[in-house]
Structure formats: C-alpha cells, structure tokens
Amino acid sequence: MNVNASSLSPDGIDRYVWETRYRWHDARGNTEHSAEQTWQRVAHAVAEAEAPDRWPQVAHAFHDLLADMRFLPGGRILANAGIDGDHTLFNCFVMGTLADDADIVTMALREAASTLHFGGGIGVDFSPLGSVQQGTQPGSNHAPGPLRLITLFDTLCANTLTGHLRPGALMATLRCDHPDILQFADAKRVRHRLRASNLSVLISDAFMQAVRLDAPWPLVDDGGQPVTDTLMARALWEHILRSAYDTGEPGVLFIDRINALDNLGYREQVHATNPCGEIPLPAYGACNLGSLNLTRFVRRPFADNAEWDIDGLIAATTLAVRFLDDVIDVSRFPLPRQAEQARGSRRIGLGITGLADSLIMLGLHYASRRARTAAVMALRTICHAAYRASCALAVEKGAFPWFDADALLARPFAQALPATLRRRIARSGLRNSHLIAIAPAGSISLLAGAVSSGIEPLAAIEQAFRVGGERGDMRIFDVEAYAKRVWVRRCENRPLPATFVTAAALDAEDQLLMQSELQHYVDNAISKTVNLPPTTPFAQFRDVYDDAYRLGLKGCTVYRSAANADRTCSTADPCD
C-alpha cells in the first residue's frame, strides 16, 4: 500500500491535518498548494545544515524519506522549517529553575512567554517554591506557592497560540515530599481548571520504599527540612492515585530512575519533561522529535511470511538521525540558554508510530509475547542503527561538545549497548547525547493516513475523529483503522482476524509489558497512556502504577476513557 505525497485523500483527515497544521501560508494569501511543496520546503531547509557540495544530495534524500512518509518529523519542523520569522523547530522546552523570589518568577514568566511565542510547549518544575500556606515574612521578596504560579503559567499557555491552531501546553511537576503535594494532586478536581497543563508528581525511590513499608513520609522544604506534620506514605500514594483515578491526573514520573538512567547524568539533573513526557530534560533543555512510520516497513502484510523490512528500517533510521541532527543547526531558539543546551548535548528524539497497525499487519495480537518480540526487534534495530549513525556523524562533523567517552560509557544505557557499538563510541565519539524517544505522535500519525499513534493499541477499528479547524470550527471524520484498509485491499470482504484488537479489550498488564520491554531501547522516555474502561475498580487502577514501578518504567499515566475527558495530550497533542 503506497502512501506518498500525491495520495493524500481529496477530502480526508490526512489532507485536513496538512491544510490546517502544516501547510505554509502568509497574510498576503500565498500558500503551498500540495503536500509535495511542504516536503520540498522542509527537506531543503533542513539540508541547509550540510556542506554546500552535499546539500543537493542530502536534500533529495530527505525529500524522499518525507514524501514516502517513512519518517514523520515533529510538527514544529513540518510547520516552520524554511519559514521566516520567530519560529522554532523544537516542539518543547523545559524552563529554568524557579525560586521563591519575585524577580526570578517574573523572569521565568517572560521566558515562558517568549518560548510559547516561538511555538514551543514548556515544562516547569515548581518544587523549589515554598508552600503558600507557610506565608511569607513581612517585606520579603517572596513568590507565591506552586498552585498559584501554575495557574499563571497555565493562563499564559491557554492564551498563546504556538502553531496555526495549537494553544500552548505546560507540564507542571512537583516533588512527592513538597508541602503542597496534596493540593497539587487535587488541582484538576475543579472541572476545566488548568486546561493547558499536564501535571506529574516526581516520585522518588525512597518514597516507593516508604509506600511498600507503610512508613511515615515527611514533607520538607527545598533545603530538606521538615515543614509540616508527617504523612503516611501509603496514604499519600493512595491520595495521588485517587485523584488520577477521578480526573486523569496527575501522572507520575519516577524521577530517581530517570536521573539514574540519563546518558548525561554525569553533568545534569532532570526535574521535568516536555508536556507529554517522552523527553526528560534539564533546565533550558529542548526536544527535537520525529517518528518512523512502522507501517511502511512491513513486508507482505497479512501474508503468512509477513516480516519487518530490517534493511529499510536501518536505512531510514540512519537518514532520520542526520535529519534531526541538522535540525539543531538550522533552528532558531527563543532563548540563548536553550540554544546552548541544545547545541551542547545535540539531544534528539527519534521514535516510532503505527506500531499497533503494523503488528496486526504482521499477523500478531498486541497482547502476545510474539508481538512484543516483534516490537522489540524493530526498536532494537532502530536504536542500534541510530547509535551507529551518530558515531558516523561524530567522525564527519564532530562529537557533541559535552561528550565524555569514559563518563558516558559508564552510564547504564550505554553499558547495555553491544560491545562492538561501545567500542565504536569510544573510538569515534557520539554526535548526539540521546537518540531515541517515543512520542504520542497524534497529528503526524493522522497525516500519514491515520495510522495508530506511537505505541498505543488501536483506539477503535472504526471511529469518529474530531479535528479543530482554523476558524474554531470542528470537523468530524469517520476513519477506519489503517490496518483494516490494508486488509480490505488485500483480502476484500473476508472477516477481520482476531489480531484486530483495541485498547478496550486489553488488560493493563498487556500495555505495561509492551512499554517496559521497549524501554530497554529508549534512552529518553516513552509517552504511553494505559487506557482502561471507566468501570475499572480503583484497586485495579492502583495496581497499574505499582506494576509500572516494578517493571522499571520511567513514568506512568492511566486514563479511564469516558471518566477522564479533559486531558491535554490528545489527538492533536502538544508534542506534534
């Protein structure tokens, strides 16, 4: 099934997403008239980072990769590459460190406004702020507590368009021992409050140990001093999860694990992520995203000998790493410190989308061990090919400035790489500190013919997608699963096999196992929502989070379909 620029549906959801989100146009009425012009614009603009004698060849290769939709760059790249003005090609940024100081808070709001104006979503850790309930000393230059300040950031995001249609998005994080953690956990109980924000609690290993032992858990100030009565850890954990059960938030980030596994843990500390959670970042870090469309790498779909096109995956990965690395050099940045961070680490986030459709086309049930084995084969291939490509780029263009071979190779993720690849990194260097991240990939998956998003199971075999338009209107598209369309073309009216399974028919464990096995080949993180029916009992819901920690995940978000209707990361998510 050939998907290319000329095959956008005349009046389908793919064309509508292109027209409303990624097609260039200006105030004078000039516009791109076809997706082919978009591929040309993006390919040529990103290839400008290459040496002049290589530019035509690289631009042509980038164009073919995009036009065939084997690779789907992040939405800011598609919308902004080659466009004049104050735009960035990076989807999201983590902002600087806050403090209980009005001048620092004022500067943080200004920096957030500038970042949103350039088109980036933001992540902010509010943990350094003291509790508003403690009050302030008369005459002190003291900032408000976390919830009041989150509300200011949320209002700023909600009133700033960061793309043609997309309002700004915020990931707000708070430590599990912060004095205001109960209020933070309950923040979304007020309906429509903080609509532009996702909330995540930073969960430490010490806290999870205290939960297991049902031990006391002290709430402390930023200096580690107790500031209020001690809570029981298990009661606090249940309070956090009860709010998530009722409202869909907060999610949790296992922050000690994130920092322990960070390739750059020898020089940075992470306290927040981008709004959808797939890129843990230090202060002023940025995420540079793109996804390989796995449906384009299934050979002989639905045949008995269906298989991955491994050679094709390696070739596409190699080119996609070059593409995202070039994005760093051609992008504008809202703030100088963001440019410094991006260019110092040259962090990229190459991921996958269309996994569920691809597994069905391979004849595999999402919940089966064979499906997880096939998914791991694809991602392991991509991960190792990406690291090899980054080594080759380091030889050609130089290692990332903060590269320290001994320090990086001592990190857990690098230690798990094949010995031949570790030797190559030691010998050649590495162009990028991080390479793999799995984003929700909502809008770009619709652009690619409505393939299943990220590593999520199918939401439905047939469903109605509601997509916002440029004038605030809403279009509804009836969409069949991509795999079903391939099945009908190849197998006509034969009944669908049992491999056509949706999220509603899957246990939470099936989804956690898929995420946990893929996490071994992801040096950033995975944005994955465990979807459960609204009738799921709370005890079963709570077990999902406990299992996520036990399985080694970096974070967990659980969504009870109709019960949690106000989440920020949706079909047109801020990571697109």
Q: Is residue 258 a part of any domain in this protein?
A: yes
Is 276 among the residues known to form the active site?
A: yes
Is 278 among the residues known to form the active site?
A: yes
What pLDDT shows up at residue 139?
40
Residue 214 pLDDT > 80: yes
Catalytic residue selected from 50, 111, 268, 278: 278
Q: Is residue 219 a part of any domain in this protein?
A: yes
What pLDDT shows up at residue 227?
77
Residue 473 pLDDT > 90: no
Average pLDDT, the chain: 91
Residues 481-494: b if buried by 16+ CB within 10 A, e if exposed: bbbbebbeeeeeee
Once rounded to an integer, what is the mean pLDDT over residues 90-102? 94
Separation between Cα atoms, residue 306 and residue 327, nearest integer Å: 35
Q: Is residue 246 a part of any domain in this protein?
A: yes
Once rounded to an integer, what is the mean pLDDT over residues 183-191? 92
Catalytic residue selected from 276, 383, 391, 575: 276
Look at residues 525, 258, 261 and name the one whose alpha carbon lies nearest to residue 414. 261
What pLDDT shows up at residue 133?
56
> What is the band of 136 on the pLDDT scale with cuts at 50, 70, 90?
very low
Please state at what angle helix 233-247 crosses helix 538-550, rounded to 10 degrees.
110
Number of H helices, E strands in the chain: 21, 19
Instruction: Check: CB of residue 232 under 8 Å from CB of residue 218.
Output: no
Q: Is residue 160 a part of any domain in this protein?
A: yes
Catalytic residue selected from 91, 274, 293, 432: 274
Q: 17-21, 96-100, 404-408, 489-493: which range is least confident on average?
A: 489-493
Q: Is residue 136 a part of any domain in this protein?
A: yes
What pLDDT shows up at residue 166?
67
Per residue in 329-356, pLDDT (tens digit) is 999 999 999 999 999 999 999 999 999 9
Strands 197-203 and 170-175: parallel
Is 480 among the residues known to form the active site?
A: no
Q: Is residue 164 a part of any domain in this protein?
A: yes
User: What's the total number of domains in the chain?
Assistant: 1
Residue 319 pLDDT > 90: yes
CATH code: domain of residue 130? 3.20.70.20
Burial class (CB in 10 A: 0-12, 13-18, 19+), 431: buried
Q: Is residue 455 a part of any domain in this protein?
A: no
Burial class (CB in 10 A: 0-12, 13-18, 19+), 392: middle
Tokens 């099936």 identify what position? 510
Once rounded to an integer, what is the mean pLDDT over residues 559-567? 59
Per residue in 372-420, pLDDT (tens digit) is 999 999 999 999 999 999 999 999 999 999 999 999 999 999 999 999 9
Q: Residue 537 belongs to what H/E stretch?
A: none
Q: Which residue has the higher pLDDT, 301 or 473?
A: 301
Strands 529-532 and 92-94: unpaired
Q: Is residue 32 a part of any domain in this protein?
A: no
Domain limits at 126?
Answer: 92-273
What pLDDT shows up at residue 568?
40
Instruction: Check: CB of residue 306 under 8 Å from CB of residue 363.
Output: yes
